[in-house]
Each structure stands twice: as structure tokens, then as C-alpha cells.
Structure 1
Amino acid sequence: MSRSVNRTLMTVPPRLKRATRPPRGVSPLIADLERAAAEGNTDTEAFWERVERTGTPVVGELDEQGRRTATFLWRGGDELADVILTADRIAAADSYERNRMERIPGTDVWHLTYLMRSDWRASYGVAPVPADGTPAPENALSATTRTRRERALALSDPEDRPAVARWFDALAHVRPDPRAREALDEHHSVVSLPEAPPELRHDPDAPSGTLTRHTLASERLGNTRDVWIHRPAREPVDGTWPVAILLDGRTWHDLPLAPLLDGLIADGTLPPMLTVMVDSLDPATRTRELACHDPFVDFLDTELLPWLAELHPITDDPGRTLIAGQSLGGLTALYAALRLPGCFGRVLSQSGSYWWPNPAVTGGETERMVRLVREADALPERVHLSAGLHEWALLGANGRVHEALLERGRELGLPGDFASFTEYNGGHDKACWRADLPHGLIALTEDHAR
């Protein structure tokens, strides 16, 4: 097997026993509607008018165990064969069946209710599957989802592959919930139960900074990518800009992140800083470059930062230079800081893929970052890790990296709180990362001049 294939397979998560699926709950609202339908009353206009007023999902009262029901809804009739909820995105043989909404007979109400701890947050979509078999538009699946499909089918047992394929076929029909209270992007909505950590919102009256798009060619990597630079309206106190590098930059640019940064910097919650959003190109390139790939780290050090310094007066203080990433990006953010302690002194790692590499490919080695931290001659000044309780493939690994950081930090004389770890009630999810990112940035820059 070639080295390049080996490295690709190293970034496929190990097949760990999956976590328990979200438990089903019972919604009194649906129970009332089912009783009425059973008695012959199938008029749902008043029901849908109520739903339009409250938004979806419909959230129940807090129970004695700190849980609430979240009832997801879709309106449709016989033109639909199924309606699939994608709040639980596990690609497994039973995914399609586990995520099917039920239809109240004789009505246009499709529903599925979860019983969740009341601080749950997740992005979700709804996939109405046509009864006549009409296919989804060509290329309806994103490049990332197509890659996930290929990997899931390759790793599935042969007898399970048709069921896994059916799940991904349904994903091609996903669209946002038209009645959702919160939105994520053009394909997904967001559910945040009342006790979920509050998400910071942008101030529409804050002075806008500038957001510029650049094209940066790398001799080291042999490719060219987009880089977006956000420069806030407020100038830095000493005339030199602190820098925050965000990997998977297109995600944050498209969110968009810039208006939120404008508001947080305007009111002093964040210090004035340049935020540099670095595109990851395509899934194959991302998989290669964001897996402790030394040429990519060299690109950040010898090409990206010098190029940025030609455009803006930036700091050379590692304590004012932050790098952030999610998933493989979170892994790479910490790896870059370990490789270049004189460059990156602050690290924000969300859902870091610290299970890396896959032991099936490396002959047994996994969670390499724990060893790298324990062997490091220097550590970043501050590290903020976060991971979701529903990320069973990496939650434990994140905890072990945190423990290794604290242990090595004590040996190197760092303060006991230099590395923090937050566990949130969610999954491997942009909705959770969006909510957590500002808090991580705040924690890592609290000692910076405002």
C-alpha cells in the first residue's frame, strides 16, 4: 500500500462502539392530535397555526431529571414516502429507520420526539423523501458528505451497505426546517434547548470592519487557496495587530463570522485583532493537510505569516498569535503550536480529532498527540479544548490530551489553569462550534489590551 493511501486511511476514525442514540420521548401535543385523529377529527389547521407561532421544534416542560422533549415536525401528505430527521447524523445500518418521522394517520403531520437533557444544542435538517421516487438534484450531497458516504460504505459490513446507502440517499433530500427558530446555513436549522449555553449574537449597530478576500499560492504545498482577513474598525493599542488564524476558513467566512467579531471587538469583549480565515480547499486536501502534516505547518510559518506581515503590521509575540481549528483542524492547531512554540502561543481546539491516527493502519498506535504533549520541550501559553458529549469517538481522547497538557504543564512550571477543557451537550457539529468559538476566543485573549 502506498504511503499516500496509508496517510489517508490514518485520518479515518477508528470503528469504536457508537454511543446510545437519542432516546425517544412522548409529546402531549402529538398525543392530543393522535386522539383527535382516531376519533375522526383530522383537521390540523389550528395545530399548524400554533406551530407557526411558536416555531420548531416544539419544546416540552423541564422534568425532574433535567430533560425536555423536543418535537420535530414536517407538513406533508401522500406525496411523501418518508420524512427523515438528520439531527442524529450517525451513518450506520439503522440510521434510516432510527431517524424516520411518524405520520399521524389521515393527517399531514409527521413527527419525531426526542427526550434530551435540557442544555442540548444541535444542527439538523429534514429530508422529505418523495413517494414517486423522484431523485434528488444532481450533486445534492456536498463534497464532504460524498466523502463520508464513500468511507461509510467501505467500512460497513457487506450486508449493511444497502441500508447505509439508503441513509445517504435520504440525505440528498435534506433541507432546513421552514418553521425553525434558529438557522445555521442554507441546508440546516438549529435546535437549542432553553438551558443550552447562550450563543453570543452580533450587534447590528457595531461599526463594521473590513473583510478582504485574497488568493495565496504556496510553493511549499504546491496549491493556491483563498484567505479572508477581517480587520475590525478599532485599532490595536500599540499599533501592531494580534492575529487569530482560523483553519477551515471558508466555513467561518460563510457563516458569516465577521459581523459577530465586529460587535465583540466594538464593546471590548474581544481585543482588536486580525482574524485570518484560511481555506482548506477540497476534502482530500483537507484530510492530508490537517493531520499533523509538517509541510502545512511550514506553510503557516514561512509563507502565510510573512505574507500577512507584508499587508499589515502584525505582532511577533506568540502570546498574541492564536490558531484555532475544529476536528482535524483542532488536531492541527495544537500540533502547529507544539512544532512552533515561538510562533503560536494560544490554541483553540474544538472537537479535536485526537484519536488520530487510526490504529488499524499504524499497527496499533493511536492518540499520538498525548505522546507529543508529554515529550514537548515547550507548550503554548494557553489552550482551550472543547468537545461534545455525543462525540464518543473523540471525547475521551480530548480528555486525555487535556490531562497530558496539565501534567506536562506542571513539569514545565506553567500555571494550573493554562489549559481548559469544556464538555458541551452536543455532537460533532458546526452549531456547537459556532456557539463555543467566541467563548474560546474570549478565554484565550482575556489578558490582551482592549
Structure 2
Amino acid sequence: MPADQLTDLLDPARWDPLPHPPAMEYPLPVRRRDPRTLPPAPATGSAPEVLSRGADGVLLRLRHRAPRARAVALHASGWWRPQPADALDLVPAGDGWWEIVLEAPADWRTSYGFVEHDGPGDPPWWEAGLKAPGAPVHPDALCAHRHGAARGGAERSVLSLPFDGLFRAGRDDAETPAEVHELPLGPDAPRVRWWVPEEAGPAPLPLLVVTDGAEHVEQLGTPERLRRGVEAGVLPPLVAVFVDAGEHRGDVLGVPGGQARWIPEDLVPRLRAAGLTAPGGRRLALTDDPARTIITGASYGGLTALFTAARAPGTIGIAIAQSVSLWRYPRGALVGPLREAAGYAPLRLRLHAGRFEGSMAADARALADALDGSGAEVTLDLHSGGHDWAWWQPALLHDLAAELGR
């Protein structure tokens, strides 16, 4: 199929986003232990505390100090409807401390905090659930790992039971910030910043384009984690370009136009043609190899990554798409464009979904199955997590290392 016909398939006039479906908060049975039957928690130390670890799960203790509270609950992404309703409530442990010991998946990654109830009656989350618990969410004061990329910029603590090493999610405030540079593009373009390691040489560099750039640069510390990966030899030198969504995210992400058109038709060709100038005047060249050019995003950004891959497989050959908001269009709508794109140029799609985010895992599986035999190389990884940066960020970085290590 000619490239202009791929563009026609993704004409925004043919794609009307559907309204957001009602939230589906599936009941989640929670298995917990009575803390009084276990050795007491240490007086000092970090949290969460892993008490035991098996092949399928861990026994986990979390603590929170709230002297004036009458009830306290764990607020963990995707665990919105625990069964029973008080299954994530902490129990008093003396001197204003509260604690919970629960069984969790061995690969659980979650953004979390605690909610407190100090008024009369039952805690509001018993009826409303924990997604909107009716009380502020407090980060875990005992946990050193946090990010501020939750909705509205709220801070959340990060629990990561798999060992992510260099790629653990969340900021490290003690780490020297990586140097990022702004790309001057004019008032009509989104804000774009870029990072390159100091040791990058003259050879053309792989290119990573990251949607929701503000969250990655300002709240998640993704440039710092890329720097760690390069310094450790896990990643080759590369250029990472972070594209902000801005105030109208739903208009520029998750649609076949917007940034899904601008990135492959404007941004990437401009970068390849002009290159970049690093501090000190060092000129950087970018690869023109689609197999070394990657776009990534989560949620609406994940949908943008797939639209971009479908629109320009000869420009960007790899999409890392996480928690893709496939509900935004009729079921299977993206199958045809992606199949056609895979017939035009080699295409690799790395899909990811969380087990605790409603129907997204099933939707991702249906897309992967529908693309079987298309010629596209499609993988699907499922994670024990919700709709959540706590696993999006490390999964992206692990995928990046795998792709660029080929």
C-alpha cells in the first residue's frame, strides 16, 4: 500500500472518539494477616517491609502514623474495590501507628498512599470505594521512592516488588538532575525537550520519542534513569525527545491527528535533517533507521504511539504502547491500519497492560490476537498493576534496553 493511502486510513475526519465508558471497578479479594500474630515491626527502617517472598507472592507490611485518625486505609492504584470493603484498612498498632499485613503478587508495582478518617460514622471508602475515597491521600513517610505524576500533580509513594534496579520508578531527589535542552519550535508547536548522554559520539544515534514529556522530565526522573542505563552499559547512547501534551491532552493525544501526525510528519524529519547541537557545540546526528526509532506512551499516549506507528512505519518502526485507551474507538478499529502499515514496512509493537485496570488487559489481548499473521511483530506483557506510572516507567525502560540491545 502506498504511504499516502496509510495517511488516508487515519484521516481524523473518519475517527470520532467515543465518550469515556463508565468506570468499571471490579471487586478484588484481598488476603491479609493479623499483624499481632507476626513479629513486631522495627522501630526504624524503610517501608514497605517484605516479610516473606515466594514464587507467586509476598507477605508485605505497611505502616502509617495518624494519631488523630479513627480509620486508615491503603490507597493503591487499581485496588479500588477490595473485598470485603474494609480489607485494605490498617489496624491500630499503638502510639498513633497503624499497620496492615497483606498477601500481594510477587510482581506488584503500584503508586500508593494512605487515607485517613477522623470524623463520625463509617469511613466513606467503605461505600464509595478507594478510587475516590472521600479523603486526602497521604504519601508513605517511610518510603523513599515517590513521584508527582498522579492526576493533578499529587505525590504518591512507589512500591515495586520486582527488582527494577537502575529503572525503578519514581524520583531520586538526591540524584544530580540530568541536563535537558529545549528545542525551539515556535508558538504553535508543543514544548519539546531532549536529552543526550555526554559520551555520545559522532555516529547517528537511536531516537526515542516520549509522549507526556512533562511528567517524564519533571515528575518521574526519566532522563536520570536513561543516564543511569547508559552509564551502566544497559543502554547505548541515544537521544530522548520528550513532547509535552499541554493543557488539552485529549485533543492532541489518543487521536489519529494531533501529535500522532505531527511527530512523524514534522518533528522526526526535522530532527533527522538538522540534527542537534549539544553543549559546547558538539553536533549530533540521528539515525534514519526506523528499527532504531521508537515512540512510546501510556493511556492516551499509548493510543498515540499506535496511531503514529500505523501512520508512518517507514519513519518510526517501534511502538511501546502501555495501557492503551482502545475504548476510545470501536473495537478493532486500529487493526486494519496497523495491518496495512505492517505490509508497508517492518513494524514492532510492544503492548503492555495492567491486571488491575478493568478491561484494558483483555482489550490489549484482543488487539494482539487480531494482528497475528499481519507481519507485525507484536508482544503483550501483563503487569500486576493499575493504570499507573509505577509500572509504566520501568516497563518502558526495560523494553528500550531490549530493543536497542538487539
Distance 1:380 1:353 in 2: 24
Q: Does 1:75 align with 2:81?
A: no
**Aligned residues of 1:11 and 1:291 also touching (Cα < 8 A):** no
Alpha-carbon spacing, 1:249–1:12, altered in 2? closer, same or farther (3 Å): same
Distance 1:164 1:95 in 2: 13
What is the correspondence of 1:342-421 to structure 2 with a 5 Å cutoff? 342-357=314-329, 365-376=330-341, 377-378=343-344, 380-409=346-375, 418-421=377-380
Decide which of 128, 140, 144 is 1:177's aligned counterpart.
Answer: 140
Q: Does 1:332 align with 2:295?
A: no
Aligned position for 1:114: 102
Decide which of 263, 287, 301 is 1:300's aligned counterpart.
Answer: 263
CA-to-aligned-CA distance 1:123-157 (integer Å, 9 cap, x gap): 10112345499xxxxxxxxxxxxxxxxxxxxxxxx
Aligned position for 2:44: 52
Letter in 2 for 1:337: A
**Aligned residues of 2:253 and 2:260 also touching (Cα < 8 A):** no
Greater helix content: 1
Decide which of 279, 293, 298 is 1:321's aligned counterpart.
Answer: 293
How far apart are residue 207 of structure 1 and its match?
A: 11
Aligned position for 1:435: 394
Distance 2:228 2:296 in 1: 20
Aligned position for 2:223: 258
Q: Does 1:86 align with 2:75?
A: yes
| TM-score of the aligned structures, taking structure 1 as reference length | 0.71
Give the secondary-structure state (helix, strand or coil) at the position aligned to 1:168.
coil
Alpha-carbon spacing, 1:215–1:381, altered in 2? closer, same or farther (3 Å): same
CA-to-aligned-CA distance 1:322-356 (integer Å, 9 cap, x gap): 11111111111011111111211111112222333
Letter in 1 for 2:222: L
Distance 1:121 1:72 in 2: 14
Aligned position for 2:6: none
How far apart are residue 367 of structure 1 and its match?
A: 3.8
How far apart are residue 378 of structure 1 and its match?
A: 2.9
Q: Is there any run of 5+ residues in structure 2 with no aligned partner, and where?
A: 1-11, 149-153, 277-284
Distance 1:328 1:15 in 2: 16
How far apart are residue 229 of structure 1 and its match?
A: 0.4
**Aligned residues of 2:65 and 2:97 also touching (Cα < 8 A):** yes
How far apart are residue 302 of structure 1 and its match?
A: 3.5
How far apart are residue 112 of structure 1 and its match?
A: 3.1
Decide which of 2, 12, 29 is 2:20's aligned counterpart.
Answer: 12
Q: Does 1:212 align with 2:181?
A: yes
Alpha-carbon spacing, 1:441–1:103, altered in 2? closer, same or farther (3 Å): same
CA-to-aligned-CA distance 1:281-300 (integer Å, 9 cap, x gap): 12xx2122222332432221
Give the secondary-structure state (helix, strand or coil) at the position aligned to 1:407.
coil
Distance 1:184 1:268 in 2: 25
**Aligned residues of 1:80 and 1:130 also touching (Cα < 8 A):** yes
**Aligned residues of 1:207 and 1:233 also touching (Cα < 8 A):** no
Alpha-carbon spacing, 1:208–1:116, altered in 2? closer, same or farther (3 Å): closer
Corresponding pairs, count:
372
Alpha-carbon spacing, 1:23–1:241, altered in 2? closer, same or farther (3 Å): same
Alpha-carbon spacing, 1:384–1:108, altered in 2? closer, same or farther (3 Å): same
What's the % identity of the aligned pairs? 26
Decide which of 1, 12, 21 is 2:28's aligned counterpart.
Answer: 21
CA-to-aligned-CA distance 1:425-444 (integer Å, 9 cap, x gap): 22221111122111110122
Name which one, 1 or 2, has greater alpha-carbon Rg.
1
Distance 2:301 2:37 in 1: 44
How far apart are residue 168 of structure 1 and its match?
A: 3.1
Letter in 2 for 1:57: P
Structural RMSD (CA):
3.7
| TM-score of the aligned structures, taking structure 2 as reference length | 0.78
Q: Is there any run of 5+ residues in structure 1 with no aligned partner, and where?
A: 34-46, 134-159, 358-364
* Larger mean Cα displacement after TM superposition, 437-446 or 160-169: 160-169
What is the correspondence of 1:96-245 to structure 2 with a 5 Å cutoff? 97-98=85-86, 101-104=89-92, 108-131=96-119, 164=128, 168=132, 170-171=134-135, 173-180=136-143, 182-185=145-148, 187-193=155-161, 196-201=162-167, 210-214=179-183, 216-217=185-186, 219=188, 224-236=189-201, 238=203, 240-245=204-209
Give the secondary-structure state (helix, strand or coil) at the position aligned to 1:343.
coil
**Aligned residues of 2:29 and 2:83 also touching (Cα < 8 A):** no
Alpha-carbon spacing, 1:61–1:169, altered in 2? closer, same or farther (3 Å): closer
